[in-house]
Amino acid sequence: MKIFQDYKSYYDYMQPYRSAANLIQTKLEVIDDELKCFHGYSPIHQIQSRIKSLESIEEKMNRKHYPVTIESLKYLHDIAGLRVICHYINDIQYISQLLIMHEDIHLLKKVNYIDYPKESGYQSLHLVVEVRVYCQKGLLKIPVEIQLRTIAMDCWASLEHDILYKNKEPVSKDIQDELKECAKRIALTDLQMQKIYQKVYQKKHTF
């Protein structure tokens, strides 16, 4: 069963989600620009934005045992998503706090996979926020998932995805254990890099 009859129907329906993602990305860019302007430091390395593909939406609905209908879209909070890649661990909490301080952003959910990594070793801070979007349909409240992670965390996650999910053959437990060990080493490296940075720049940056 298909949710939309054709790609144009899907694209048109996703317009508010694109607007919501753009709104969040603009706020993040402003935060980063202000910190760079007033403190001489840019904590955000990169911002990636995406709208879930129709195939991914239908696959998730089937996996979650939701009816594959437009009505079921309300159960998916990650149709609009952003990935915020920061330089250091402390940047993640700082950026997330500044973002959710905005009155027009409502925090729905926060999951800290940095302090409490997934069984696979995955680390990231996940936020689900709700923003108001004004469009031809009227005022809509759109959920957006935001993943915040360091450059090192993103490197591990990207390579792990290539190894586990793009590979059609299942990997052994030994390989999974090796990936977990790599994640632990990367986490230790992140902490050490944070300490080195603080030693060098703690007198220069006051935030």
Average the pLDDT over each of 31-35, 79-83, 125-129, 165-169 and give the range with the smallest value: 165-169
Does some domain include residue 206? no
Q: Is the pLDDT of residue 90 over 70?
A: yes
pLDDT at 75: 94
- At residue 45, the pLDDT reads 97
pLDDT value of position 202: 73
DSSP reduced 3-state for 143: strand
207 within some domain = no
Instruction: Please indicate, yes or no, if residue 61 is contained in any of the structural domains.
Output: yes
8: which 2 tokens? Answer: 């144009």
Asked whether the beta carbons of 49 and 82 are under 8 A apart, the reply is yes
- pTM, rounded to two decimals: 0.91
Span 175-196, pLDDT tens digits = 999 999 999 999 999 999 999 9
Q: Crossing angle, helix 89-100 and helix 15-39, to 10 degrees?
A: 120
Q: Which two tokens stand for residue 133?
A: 């979007």
Q: For residue 98, what are the CA distances in angstroms to 32, 48, 49, 72?
A: 10, 18, 19, 32
Residue 112 clears pLDDT 80, i.e. is over it: yes
Q: What is the pLDDT of residue 203?
A: 61
Q: pLDDT, tens digit, for every residue of 6-22?
A: 889 999 999 999 999 99
User: Tens of pLDDT along 39-72?
Assistant: 888 999 999 999 999 999 999 999 999 999 999 9
What pLDDT is recorded for position 134?
92
How many domains are there within the chain? 1
Look at residue 1 and tell me whether its pLDDT is greater than 70.
Answer: no
Specify if 156 maps to a domain: yes
CATH number of the domain within which 148 lies = 3.30.460.10
Domain that includes residue 179, residue range? 7-201
User: CA 99 to CA 106: how far, in whole Å?
Assistant: 10
Tens digit of pLDDT for each residue in 115-171? 999 999 999 999 999 999 998 889 999 999 999 999 999 999 999 988 887 777 788
Q: What's the pLDDT at 42?
A: 92
In a domain, residue 190? The reply is yes
pLDDT at 169: 77
For 75, the token pair is 């159960």
In a domain, 134, yes or no: yes
Structural domain includes residue 11: yes
